Structure 1
Amino acid sequence: MDTLTLINRAHQGDKLARDKILIENTGLIWSIVRRFLNRGHEGEDLFQIGCIGMLKAIDRFDTEFDVAFSTYAVPMIAGEIRRFIRDDGIVKISRKIKENQMKIMHQREIYINEKKQEPTIEELEKVCNLTKEEIVMAMDASRNVESIDKEMYSKDSAYTLMDLAEDDTNIEETVLNKIMVQQLMDMLESKERKIINLRYFKNKTQSQVAKEMGMTQVQVSRLEKKILNSMRNEKST
């Protein structure tokens, strides 16, 4: 059975199909995990996080995309691992709590896929074989110190921490945007086309684009979002 057929069956609630895709792609997950070794985390820990990224890729992949599933899955897996490493570095917590966090994350993904809703503490308690106190402690420890959506202010504008994030924290979004913009470049003005070309085809960061075009990184971020929103609206009409 080919991958697209398995994905369609997984989207219809076939857990065995979902598990089969995961198992068949363990080599791909490990190939990505190896890029992040020697950063203070065990390979097995990163593999578990990579599996979560793969499950998200399975659940979110649209078989109508004109792109191979592996091409879509790679940035999803890498992005999940990057977020884990980034967030884990904010506050140092014990290995036991980290293990509990990964167990909770894994079981939460399974529950949401099957039930289409968030599990309660009591439901997590049953499937994770943890006490309520252990679950609450692990979930509290995993919260970011600073929300990426918290607004910050400069002299003449407001922006969030997400506005300032480099593209490697959202590379799965980058892949989807790149697929879209390939067909819509002609509608852009010269300056807009240059920004999109540098960002999505030259693979430059927002900071690099800002330096090249004599703008601030925040200005590039905001203009890029405006362009992409306009292109999405154009594609949906």
Structure 2
Amino acid sequence: MTVSASTAPPQDEAPAPAPDRAQTSATTSTHPRGPAPAAAARKRRGADTRALTQVLFAQLKGLEPGTPEHHRVRGALIEANLPLVRYAAARFRSRNEPMEDVVQVGTIGLINAIDRFDPDRGVQFPTFAMPTVVGEIKRYFRDNVRTVHVPRRLHELWVQVNSATEDLTTAYGRSPTTSEIAERLRITEEEVLSCIEAGRSYHATSLEAAQEGDGLPGLLDRLGYEDPALDGVEHRDLVRHLLVQLPEREQRILLLRYYSNLTQSQISAELGVSQMHVSRLLARSFARLRSANRIDA
């Protein structure tokens, strides 16, 4: 069989020695996909971003606001620091709000921080910008996301209640009571309960949504139904009002006739009067009730 010269190994070439275990371990630990190189790469990117930010701010300081060059450098600063916005927005993933909206709001805070930053004060820009970005996102959730608008004082107190709850849970090893939270913050228990209720107002639950986990039907299926007797509430109140205007004996006759379902003969035997007299008393009572009926009037 003929072997091509391009594929046949040279006769005088010795086989390569197998790598030892130490060399293999070192190669594996420095693999580009390993955790250590990834962390080092993130640190390098962070350092490069900080260095670029310092250079851009130095350029921005010498430019006239409103000029094309000023806009270009300012845009480069925004783009370079967008990872900072995404990092801050990731803290709000549990709010079930689209992350693109949160990043947009955080970018507004980033722009405000860039416009207010003074590099001569000796503060790193991320340290200065982070509170502004987070504050803008929190303001967005406070003013736009809540289904029920909560007063600002109550919202700020709600943040304190949450912090106190976490601290007391760590200290006691259990969930604190309302009185313990109130004592910690030196507020009333009613204010604590109001804050807890305010914290539930971010999203409204649909009445038709099925309950998760318990296998029960939606809230709409478990709510009370319309009572058909509600239509007669006004009439019952009117009858009660009119009955008290009748003499006691006529009231008793009406009750025996229409509430106890007795016949006129049974009523006559009950009261010791004739059936004809019972009939006349019923007719007279009806006439009085009709004349006093304010609905018919």
Which TM-score applies when normalising by structure 1?
0.39
Higher gyration radius (CA): 2
Task: Specify which structure has the bigger relative contact order, considering alpha-carbon pairs within 8 angstroms and separated by 6 or more residues.
Answer: 1
Which TM-score applies when normalising by structure 2?
0.32
